[in-house]
Amino acid sequence: MAEAKLLKDDELKFMYDKLLESCRKNLPSVNEDLLEKSFRLSFEAHRNDFRASGEAYFHHPYEVAHIVAEEIPLDDISVISALLHDVVEDTDIDLKFIESQFGKEVVEIVDGVTKIGGVFKDHEISQAENYRKLLLSMVRDVRVILVKFADRLHNMRTLEFVNPTKQRRIAKETLEIYAPFAHRFGLGRVKWELEDLAFKYLNKEAYNELARKIADKRKERESYIKKFSKPIIAQLEEHGIKFQIGGRPKHLYSIYRKMIQQNLSFEQIFDLLAIRVILEENDPNECYYVLGVINQLYTPIPDRFKDYISIPKKNGYQSIHNTVIGLDGKLVEVQIRTRKMHEIAERGVAAHWKYKENIASASKDLEDWVNWIRDIFENSTKDEATREILASFKLNLYQDEIYVFTPQGDLRRLPREATPVDFAFEIHSNVGYHCIGAKVNGKIVPLDTTLISGDQVEIITSKNQHPNKGWLQFVVTHKAKSNIRKYLNKEAEKIVDNGREIWEKKVKKHKLSFNSDELNRLVRKLKFDNHSQFFKAVAQGKLNVDEVLNPKVEDAEEQENRLEFDNFATLARTSAGGVIVEGEHKGIPYSFAKCCNPIPGDPIIGYITIGEGIKIHKKRCKTLINLGKENEERLVPVKWPESPGQKFVAGIAIKGEDRPGILNDISNTITSYQNTNIKSINLNTNDSLFDGTITLYVENLEHLTDIINRLKKNGAIYSVERFDFSA
Q: Give 725's pLDDT tier (boundaries 50, 70, 90).
A: low
Task: Please state the domain count of the chain.
Answer: 6
Query: What sign results for the dihedral spanned by CA atoms 642, 646, 651, 656?
Result: positive
Is 691 in the same domain as 673? yes
Which pLDDT score, from 0 to 100, does residue 138 have?
Answer: 56
Cα distance between residue 9 and residue 691, in whole Å:
100
Q: How far apart are CA 360 and CA 338, in angstroms?
A: 16
* Contact between 43 and 7 (Cβ < 8 Å): yes
Any domain includes 379: no
* CATH code, domain carrying 667: 3.30.70.260
| 647, 697 Cβ separation under 8 angstroms | yes
Closest Cα partner for 639 from 630, 648, 631? 648
The confidence score (pLDDT) of residue 646 equals 74
3-state secondary structure 446-498: CCCCCCCCCCEEEEEECCCCCCCHHHHHCCCCHHHHHHHHHHHHHHHHHHHHH
Element (H, E) at 332: strand 331-338
Contact 83, 37 (CB under 8 A): no
pLDDT of residue 289: 93
Give the per-residue pLDDT at 113: 83
Query: CATH no. for residue 320?
Result: 3.30.460.10
Confidence of residue 358 (pLDDT cuts 50, 70, 90): very low
Same domain assignment for residues 215 and 311: yes
Question: Which residue in 99, 65, 104 sits closest to 82, CA to CA?
Answer: 65
Cα(213)–Cα(265) distance, rounded to whole angstroms?
A: 12
Structural domain includes residue 378 = no
Q: Is residue 366 scored above 50 in pLDDT?
A: no
The SS3 call for residue 607 is strand
**Which of the two residues, 270 and 291, has the higher pLDDT score?**
291
pLDDT tens, position by position, 42-94: 999 888 888 877 788 899 999 999 999 988 887 899 999 999 988 988 888 88
Q: Judge whether residue 709 has pLDDT over 50.
A: yes
Report in angstroms the alpha-carbon separations of 357 from 130, 309, 316, 339, 368: 30, 13, 10, 13, 16
Banded pLDDT at 297 (limits 50, 70, 90): very high
Contacts of 269 (CB under 8 A, 6+ apart): 255, 258, 259
368 in any annotated domain:
no
On whether both 350 and 462 belong to a single domain, the answer is: no
The total of other beta-carbon atoms located within 10 Å of residue 9's CB is 7
- pLDDT band of residue 385 (cuts 50, 70, 90) is very low
Residue-level pLDDT at 182: 79
- Of 354, 344, 396, nearest to 372 by C-alpha is 396
Same domain, 147 and 19: yes
Q: How far is CA 407 from CA 410, 427, 442, 447, 456, in A?
A: 7, 11, 10, 17, 6
Q: Are 627 and 516 in contact (CB under 8 A)?
A: yes
CB 693, CB 653: distance < 8 Å: yes
pLDDT surpassing 50 at residue 384:
no
Q: Does 85 fall in a domain? A: yes
Q: Could you tell me the residue range of the domain that residue 615 belongs to?
A: 579-639
Cite the active site residues: 89-90
Convert the pLDDT of each residue in 663-682 to its tens digit. 888 888 888 888 888 888 88
Pairing of strands 401-405, 411-415: antiparallel
Residues 588 and 709 in one domain: no
Amino acid of residue 348: G
Please give the C-alpha separations between residue 13 and each of 8, 50, 51, 176, in angstroms, as whole numbers. 9, 19, 21, 38
Cβ-contact 462, 408 below 8 angstroms: no
Residues 115 and 149 in one domain: yes
| Residue 68 sits in the same domain as residue 194 | yes
Residues in the chain: 727
Looking at residue 162, its pLDDT comes to: 87
Quick one: 181 and 214 in the same domain? no
CA distances from 39 to 10, 176, 578 (A): 14, 32, 99
Whether the Cβ atoms of residue 385 and residue 29 lie closer than 8 Å to each other: yes
Q: How far apart are the C-alpha atoms of 86 and 185, rounded to whole Å?
A: 23
What does the CA dihedral 192, 196, 199, 201 come to, rounded to 10 degrees? Answer: -130
Domain assignment present for residue 374? The answer is no
Q: pLDDT band at 139, cuts 50/70/90?
A: low
Q: Is the dihedral of CA 369, 370, 373, 375 positive or negative?
A: negative
- Band (35; pLDDT cuts 50, 70, 90): very high
Query: What is the reported pLDDT for 397?
Result: 42
Q: Say if residue 103 is in the same domain as residue 42.
A: yes
CATH number at residue 17: 1.10.3210.10
- Determine contact, residues 420/457, Cβ cutoff 8 Å: yes
Q: Identify how many contiguous H helices and E strands the chain contains and give both numbers.
A: 28, 21
- 36 has pLDDT over 80: yes
CB 250 within 8 A of CB 335: no
Strand partners, 404: 412
Are 497 and 444 spatial neighbours (Cβ–Cβ below 8 Å)?
no
In a domain, 614, yes or no: yes
Q: Is the pLDDT of residue 260 over 50?
A: yes
In a domain, 395, yes or no: no
Whether the pLDDT of residue 538 is over 90: the answer is no
Q: What is the rounded CA–CA span in Å between residue 564 and residue 194?
A: 93
**Residue 128 vs residue 190, higher pLDDT:** 190
pLDDT value at residue 88: 86
Q: Are 404 and 456 in contact (CB under 8 A)?
A: yes
Rounded mean pLDDT of 296-325?
88
Please check whether residues 136 and 17 belong to one and the same domain. Answer: yes
Is the same domain home to 196 and 210? no
pLDDT digits (tens, 9 = 90+) for 469-526: 889 999 988 888 888 888 888 888 888 888 888 888 887 877 777 888 778 888 887 7
* pLDDT of 133: 56
| Distance (Å, whole) CA 300 – CA 326 | 9
> What single-letter amino acid sits at 358?
N
Q: How confident is the model at residue 552 (pLDDT cuts 50, 70, 90)?
A: low
Task: Name the nearest CA neighbour of 579 among 597, 612, 611, 605.
Answer: 605
Q: Quick: pLDDT tens for 177-236.
A: 788 777 767 778 888 899 999 999 999 999 998 888 888 777 888 888 899 999 999 999
Residue 233 is predicted with a pLDDT of 93
Helices assigned H by DSSP within 348-459: 367-378, 386-390, 420-427, 429-433
> Same domain, yes or no, for 193 and 216?
no
Provide the pairing of β-strand 331-338 with 274-279: parallel
What share of the chain has pLDDT > 90, as a percent? 22
| Amino acid of residue 681 | I
Specify if 341 maps to a domain.
yes
Tell me: pLDDT of 115 over 50: yes
SS3 of residue 541 by DSSP: coil
Last residue of a domain, one of 424, 447, 476: 476
Q: Residue 651: which of 595, 579, 701, 718 has the closest Cα?
A: 701
The pLDDT assigned to 360 comes to 35
Mean pLDDT of the 451-460 span: 86
Higher pLDDT, 376 or 429: 429
Band the pLDDT of 374: cuts 50, 70, 90.
Answer: very low
Instruction: Give the number of other Cβ atoms within 10 Å of residue 492's Cβ.
Output: 13
